[in-house]
Structure 1
Amino acid sequence: MADDPRAPRPSTDEETAPLLQNVSHPDDNHDPQERQPTFIERVAAVVQEPLSPLTKILLVATLLFLLLSSIFIGLFAGAQHKLNSGKGGSTTTVIVTATATTTARATATTTAVATTTVAIPAPAPTTPPEEPVCLSPSCINLASSVLSSLDETQDPCENFYDFASQSSHDIVDTRAHPIPSDKGSFGNFEALAQQNRRLLQQILSEDASARFAATSASDYDQQILKKLRGLYRSCMAEDELNEIGEKPLREMAQKIRDLFRGKTTVVDSLENEEDKERARLTATVAYLHSRAIDALFSYDIDGDVGNDPNLMTLWISQPELGLPSKEYYEEESIVDLYQTVLERLLLTLDEDEEESQAQAIEASKLVVHEERLRVWPPWPWPPWGDDDNGHEEPLNQTERARKYSKEVVTFEKKIANASLDLDVLFQDPIATYNPVSFKNVSEQLPQFDFSTYFSAFAPRSFPSTIVLTSTTYLSSLSSILNETDTATLEAYFITRAGLSYASYLGLDTEAWKATRSLEEVLRGIKKGAVGDRAEYCVARVESAMGFAAGRYFVNETFGGESKEKATKVITGIIEAFKESLQHLDWMDEKSAKAAAEKADAIRVKVGFPVSPDTLNPRSIANYYSRVKVHEDTFFDNMLSARVADEIRRWLKLGKQRDPEEWEMYPSMVNAYFNPPANEIVFPAGILQPPFFSQDWPGYMSYGSFGQIAAHELTHAFDSAGRLYNQQGKLEQWWTNKTSEGFNERQKCIVEQYSNYTIDDGKGGKIHVNGNLTSGENIGDSGIILAYRAWKAQYDSGVENGIEFLLPGLNYTRDQLFFISFARAWAQNIKPESAVARVRTDPHSPNRYRVEGTVSNLPEFAKAFKCSPHAKLNPPQEKRCMFW
């Protein structure tokens, strides 16, 4: 083995010599010159001897043993071949003796001893001490997946992400298997979601009724399954969708025109023209918001974190944009494409030519009239003029679509410039908490009738106080509206609907193709590539009725001791966090005590919710009672589900928070921390391999699921979470000294991650936004808490048999802990998707979530015996350490 100081060191008890040798005995009197019988002669003599019964038995036993040994060695031939085929570096041939003992998992205990010669490339793993090895099928599968995920040509102290996660065969092989052509990225998170959806697909299939009869016997289950399967079936009916075409979206677009042009009795009853305009704008926005379409502004119903975190209050914020972030509006090629997409939508959703011509004439007259009022003396003069001077010739449909698509892009760009940067929106809860009175909101946006708007959604819970995420956005929006003509606003509203709902149309429709062309460029998807329709439809059913689908998912996947074992990992990490508080030099005693109290107060939710109650079909049926699913179009069914979601949101206004409510459904591959509720939530969907299994050894469980649990716990004390006390209230509950110490470390991690870059796919580099990602990076630093929690329970784990070794893995448990952490983040991502992620996602790219995290941990460098000069073993003073 090369003497590379960065390479992992083999353990000192590794055997390096043959077990048997020819040894001279001092009492031997044989003449050394005397001829000894040759090996062939000795064998011949033995063969000629008659065999005793005992000898025959021993020979048969020996043959059986050799056969079993051959089978065992064959199981790992592929893995050993990989170890022998590393690129570059010197290799050392060693003799490894492994004593393998199956545990009770395999229902019987057998012991096998095998001696074999293997070639280990540098950098080599540290060989663990000889201990019993688990040989159950689950252990063999887990060991195989770990081995196949490793790229041992990489030095873990230099490129740990590539070393641990760049050939993950357990779910996704990032080297051998390219990203699916219809996706912008693919990794273990995406692959597990795909795996979960395959199970849901079986549940949604009509021929699966017999298999799931045990969980669908009640009348309520029949109601739930009828809706789920009806929604799925309507999505799968591609021929019918293409035959229907754009009709459902056209009808929505016409409804928007009617509202915005005042074709309602309410508007007609108003005498003042200004009141009519306000009523038209309000009615249009309310209609769009009721269908979950952001327009002009967005809203949410959440706790009043500055007063009573459990009192559900109205929040108003900036809207989503047609492009993912502000930066895209500065890229000419993207803007040109986006403008073309909007033009195609406007052409497709335009009204009849004759009616649109008349509307264009009226719109142009209004524009001229408004322009005359802005200048003095009026021009042209005289202001009444001839009819020919009152307006330009109306544009045809194509010209009009091109004109207003450009105007919509300009309008959206103004909104983008008036919006908060995402790092402020995501990371500064103090700056984004601005409670104001209803009167204040109305004064900031006088063109909008908030009284009518609120009455349409919440007539019984009219909000007296509203929380604004920005103190300036509504005022800026008011100025923007004054600069924008009505025809542009109408086009904006129609394109907002088109971008939101075109994906529910048939694939042959122009609206679907237009929006898809934009998605292809923004995510790097192969042009014209369409994925599996069933996978898409299951995902849409999940988004529409996730708690209903989750009921059957949980019944199939989340049994045994999964909930108890996952909860034990979480509570162990909470205890490790509280212990670490006593040793932080930047946190004083008062703040540490308060932090421990907050940790104790965190609500831990695992698996599935009880509101709605996953195990109670009546609760689920009632929750989705407003979702109407018939044999109508998929578009109408999804519209019904989204409207029901918005009604449920508004019904919370003015009420106390439901402490049992979840923001994610059970099959989701995700987890979250909710600051106002002070809760951490782990759906059953993520409690599956490669993140969790109740049969895994402790070091694997804490390295994989433990990192997720620690990440969410640490969010309670990150750059934003630390500003909420244990009741979820936004206030200063740390001392000034402790806050200053935290801020120093936050600055360190912002600078660290701001130095990381990604390739933009065009020969350039884009830096990670350290401010935007600081909260998630601090959350990732919580892996050290999972490590300490694992160490704290190690002795009892050994006694309880959960720290067993896996076959064929010549790594220490500490090394496997970090390998388990890193391999979960295996991912391939296209440059376009990587750019979109850096600009919009508060999480860092996966490579830096691994390497940026472990470079701050001395425990990692110690586990892999990294050189002081290794990239991932910086000097202590350059590490950003929180816990």
Structure 2
Amino acid sequence: MKKALLAACCLVASACKTAEPAPTPPSPATPSTQPQPAAESRPLSPGLDLASMNEQANPCEDFYEFACGNWVKTTEIPADRPRWSRGFDAVAARNEEILREILEGVSKGKAPEGLASAQKLGDFYGACMDEAKLEASLPVLKAELAKLTAKNAKDLARVVGTLHAQNVFPLFRMGANTDFKDASQMIGEVDQGGLGLPDRDYYLKDDEKSKALRDAYTEHVKNIFVLLGEPAETAAKSAAAVLEVETALAKASMSRVERREPKSLYHRLERKGLKAEAPGFPWDEYFKAAGAGSVQALNVSHPPFFKEVERLAKTMPAAAWTPYLTWNYVSSAVPALPKAFQDERFRFSQNLTGAKEDVARWKKCVRFTNMALGEALAQPFIDRTFGADGKTTTLQMVTEIEKAFERNLDTLAWMDAATREQALVKVRKIVNKIGYPDKWRDYGAMKVDRESFLLSIMGANAFEQARQIAKIGKPVDKEEWLMSPPTVNAYYNPPFNEIVFPAGILQPPFFDREATVPVNFGAMGMVVGHEITHGFDDEGRQYDAEGNLRDWWTPASDKAFRERVACVKEQYDNYTAIDDVKLNGALTLGENVADLGGLKLAHAAMEAWLAKDPEAAKKAEGSRYTPSQQFFIGYAQSWCSKYRDAYARQLAVVDPHSPPYWRVNGPVGNLSEFQKAFQCKVDAKMVRPAAQRCEVW
């Protein structure tokens, strides 16, 4: 259930002059003063949704409004959601209904024939759904909490290691990762962590909203301790101790922007180097308790952070550690605790999401089961949703877009021949994974208890952490997937030099068997191009064709690349996320570069496809919109979205992706293909002046 320590670049991450400030989204619809792009009497292209569009808006003034305006106007965010989108969220909701049907059957002993881990799936989901038993979970919880006492640094190291073995991560995180300089080998890694709020900035900023959120968080922690049986006064002291430790860890943590530089996260010190760096923390005791007693090969992502861990271990009073360790354990276990704990968690989460209602229990249980046993649950899901033709067509699309990348390389005047040759080698070595793994994960060692969801969560967590630790010192398993197949997402993984498209996303509106080729290339093709471009964004470009962190760029091409991505950063810095909050162009840089490149590549691939497929071209041309217009509308409509204000504010701090409004209007303003498709005048809002246009790939 733990994600890889080095996150893959997921879909849901020429030099120019200073960009002009952009309007605050969503801008009012402006009636078009120019002719509509196609005759209204002709049918709309299959795959496009006329009801979502505001055809009275001028696409050259606000393309998002043109493609999504009526959808935004008429759609209500479900009460249990912080956002709703026509693409990701709607598809995920459909997938959840299918997974629910599967799990309801399996939990009642009606598993599909040959389903691996059917008993575990049924027991895990059944235990999760048994809310009466959740109310009786406190004795098991308190038995575990009684073990979390630390009178000295040695005790602390032992308890922290024991919790880490259960996939609960106070103080810092530990797991397995590829060696950045040798992508064929797995090594151990320790990384900053230990925070309860979404980001270190929540602890450090002094504006009124940040202070109010910290106060709400402290009250939440106090309330949890009260539910555990502490008097209010004692619980308040416990909450204060938790916040004191977390604030100290936040101050020692790298920012999200700093962590976007791979070289800053690679310090292969080995265990002996870590012990030399922070000798006051009993590392041998820790690794033994964490189930990693023999691990020596070790990357320390941010050494100064572990100096702070050492300082805290030596100076914090013993009385402060029990509340902090207790909070970490209980926080991770809330889904398996009585309703009062879950209600309190939801009450606080509203500060971050704005959701009006808690998520229904069945939805939670589907999600937890997918996290714990995703590749077992995926097998019947694949049988129901993903045909062989979907895999074949997607692979053809991927191949065409990779060819478009190769052709595009020859047009990049800023890149010299030596760097171009290396880029060509890399793109040709990208591994394409589509739909689902060739080999399913074995969950035989996972312990699941139908009578206790708390014990089942503990078993799933321990299984996953042991699986991670077992990788250390072994060759990388290039067949492994980092997402379960029902997931509605996609990713590029730099050390594997691979792009991965789970079956969950290969459905309408991203991929529609009935849609025209331009619509599918605009929606799913852009996703493919986006992930390919991640291999060459400001982070991905630092890895070579084999996945090693290695500088393969000449100084001249490196300088030219940096000038071009500086243009992208500056452009997005001028966009507004919500109210007075601007986008962070540095945090979102990789995703914005991937959006720009992905859209350009997908359009070129679409044109090449239609040139070779007369039938597809004929189908695309029999529409009120031209193929290029279909392409861009298909792209935009996959991003039609609405966000609650509190959630939009949170994402502006933590999300490396720009908001959907700018994922549509940002890239198209840089593309001459868009200007040509909609015959936009040079002074239109959706057309950036040539001197300010950003183009990397």
Please report the TM-score for the alignment, with normalisation by the length of structure 1.
0.72
- Residue matched to 1:636: 455
CA distance in 1, matches of 2:483, 2:160: 27
CA distance in 1, matches of 2:620, 2:234: 70
Residues 1:519 and 2:349 aligned together: yes
Residues 1:326 and 2:203 aligned together: no
CA distance in 2, matches of 1:773, 1:734: 23
1:683 positional shift: 0.4
CA distance in 1, matches of 2:107, 2:225: 43
- Residue matched to 1:117: none
CA distance in 2, matches of 1:572, 1:813: 17
Shift in alpha-carbon separation, 1:715–1:463, aligned structure 2, 3 A: same
- Residue matched to 2:338: 506
SS in 2 for 1:256: coil
- Residue matched to 1:737: 556
1:278 positional shift: 3.1
- Residue matched to 1:195: 94
- 1:430 paired residue among 224, 245, 263: 263
CA distance in 1, matches of 2:194, 2:89: 24
Total equivalences in the alignment = 663
Residues 1:418 and 2:252 aligned together: yes
Residues 1:246 and 2:121 aligned together: no
CA distance in 1, matches of 2:98, 2:288: 43
CA distance in 1, matches of 2:667, 2:126: 45
- 2:103 paired residue among 204, 215, 233: 204
Structure 2 alignment gaps of length 5 or more: 1-27
CA distance in 2, matches of 1:459, 1:813: 56
1:434 positional shift: 1.2
- Residue matched to 1:836: 650
Residues 1:346 and 2:225 aligned together: yes
1:124 positional shift: 4.7
1:584 positional shift: 0.5
Q: How does 1:120-135 map to 2 (within 5 A)?
A: 124-127=35-38
1:701 positional shift: 1.2
- 1:234 paired residue among 127, 130, 133: 127
Is the 1:591–1:733 contact (alpha carbons within 8 Å) kept by the matching residues of 2?
Answer: yes
CA distance in 1, matches of 2:97, 2:633: 28
- Residue matched to 1:594: 422
- 1:653 paired residue among 472, 475, 492: 472
- After superposition, the CA RMSD in angstroms is 2.3
Q: How does 1:448-847 map to 2 (within 5 A)?
A: 448-457=281-290, 462-507=294-339, 509=340, 511-526=341-356, 529-612=357-440, 620=441, 623-759=442-578, 764-781=579-596, 782-798=598-614, 800-801=615-616, 804-805=619-620, 809-847=623-661
Shift in alpha-carbon separation, 1:128–1:433, aligned structure 2, 3 A: farther
SS in 2 for 1:664: coil
1:806 positional shift: 8.1
Q: Once structures 1 and 2 are overlaid, which stretch shifts more, 335-344 or 736-745?
A: 335-344
Is the 2:194–2:249 contact (alpha carbons within 8 Å) kept by the matching residues of 1?
Answer: no
1:765 positional shift: 0.7
CA distance in 2, matches of 1:819, 1:841: 25
Structure 1 alignment gaps of length 5 or more: 1-85, 90-120, 169-173, 262-276, 352-396, 613-619
Residues 1:870 and 2:674 aligned together: no
Shift in alpha-carbon separation, 1:285–1:496, aligned structure 2, 3 A: same
Give the partner amino acid of 1:432. Answer: L
Give the partner amino acid of 1:224. Answer: S
1:771 positional shift: 0.7
Q: How does 1:66-105 map to 2 (within 5 A)?
A: 89=31
CA distance in 2, matches of 1:161, 1:155: 10
Shift in alpha-carbon separation, 1:578–1:506, aligned structure 2, 3 A: same
1:249 positional shift: 2.8
Q: Once structures 1 and 2 are overlaid, which stretch shifts more, 717-726 or 153-162?
A: 153-162
Q: Once structures 1 and 2 are overlaid, which stretch shifts more, 282-291 or 192-201?
A: 282-291
1:788 positional shift: 0.4
Shift in alpha-carbon separation, 1:123–1:687, aligned structure 2, 3 A: farther
- Residue matched to 1:400: 234
- Residue matched to 2:216: 337
- Residue matched to 1:156: 59
Shift in alpha-carbon separation, 1:124–1:557, aligned structure 2, 3 A: farther
Is the 1:697–1:803 contact (alpha carbons within 8 Å) kept by the matching residues of 2?
Answer: no
SS in 1 for 2:264: coil
SS in 2 for 1:166: helix
Residues 1:224 and 2:58 aligned together: no
1:447 positional shift: 3.5
Query: 1:724-757, CA deviations, whole angstroms, 9 ceiling, x for partnerless residues?
Result: 0001111110111000000001111111111111
Is the 2:137–2:454 contact (alpha carbons within 8 Å) kept by the matching residues of 1?
Answer: no
1:821 positional shift: 0.7
Is the 2:281–2:313 contact (alpha carbons within 8 Å) kept by the matching residues of 1?
Answer: no
Q: Once structures 1 and 2 are overlaid, which stretch shifts more, 571-580 or 445-454?
A: 445-454
SS in 1 for 2:303: coil
Is the 1:458–1:653 contact (alpha carbons within 8 Å) kept by the matching residues of 2?
Answer: no
Shift in alpha-carbon separation, 1:323–1:608, aligned structure 2, 3 A: same
SS in 2 for 1:655: coil
CA distance in 2, matches of 1:571, 1:190: 28
Query: 1:198-249, CA deviations, whole angstroms, 9 ceiling, x for partnerless residues?
Result: 1111111238989x87xx323xx2x62222122222222223323x153333
Query: 1:777-829, CA deviations, whole angstroms, 9 ceiling, x for partnerless residues?
Result: 1111121001001111212222x44651487x521111110011111111110
Highest CA radius of gyration, 1 or 2?
1
Please report the TM-score for the alignment, with normalisation by the length of structure 2.
0.91
Is the 2:518–2:631 contact (alpha carbons within 8 Å) kept by the matching residues of 1?
Answer: yes
Give the partner amino acid of 1:492. Answer: Y
Structure number with the bigger relative contact order (C-alpha 8 A, sep ≥ 6) is 2
- 2:662 paired residue among 833, 842, 848: 848
SS in 2 for 1:640: helix
CA distance in 1, matches of 2:524, 2:284: 48
Shift in alpha-carbon separation, 1:877–1:283, aligned structure 2, 3 A: same
Q: Which runs of 4+ in 1 moved over 6 A?
A: 128-131, 207-210
Give the partner amino acid of 2:402. Answer: I
Between the two proteins, what is the percent identity of the paired residues?
A: 31
- Residue matched to 2:73: 175
Is the 1:249–1:349 contact (alpha carbons within 8 Å) kept by the matching residues of 2?
Answer: no
Is the 1:699–1:803 contact (alpha carbons within 8 Å) kept by the matching residues of 2?
Answer: no
- Residue matched to 1:389: none
Give the partner amino acid of 1:321. Answer: L
Shift in alpha-carbon separation, 1:299–1:123, aligned structure 2, 3 A: farther
Is the 2:29–2:62 contact (alpha carbons within 8 Å) kept by the matching residues of 1?
Answer: no
Shift in alpha-carbon separation, 1:315–1:714, aligned structure 2, 3 A: same
Shift in alpha-carbon separation, 1:250–1:514, aligned structure 2, 3 A: farther
Is the 1:610–1:660 contact (alpha carbons within 8 Å) kept by the matching residues of 2?
Answer: yes
Is the 2:195–2:246 contact (alpha carbons within 8 Å) kept by the matching residues of 1?
Answer: yes
Query: 1:687-712, CA deviations, whole angstroms, 9 ceiling, x for partnerless residues?
Result: 00010023322101111100100000
Shift in alpha-carbon separation, 1:201–1:589, aligned structure 2, 3 A: same
SS in 2 for 1:408: helix
CA distance in 2, matches of 1:151, 1:255: 60
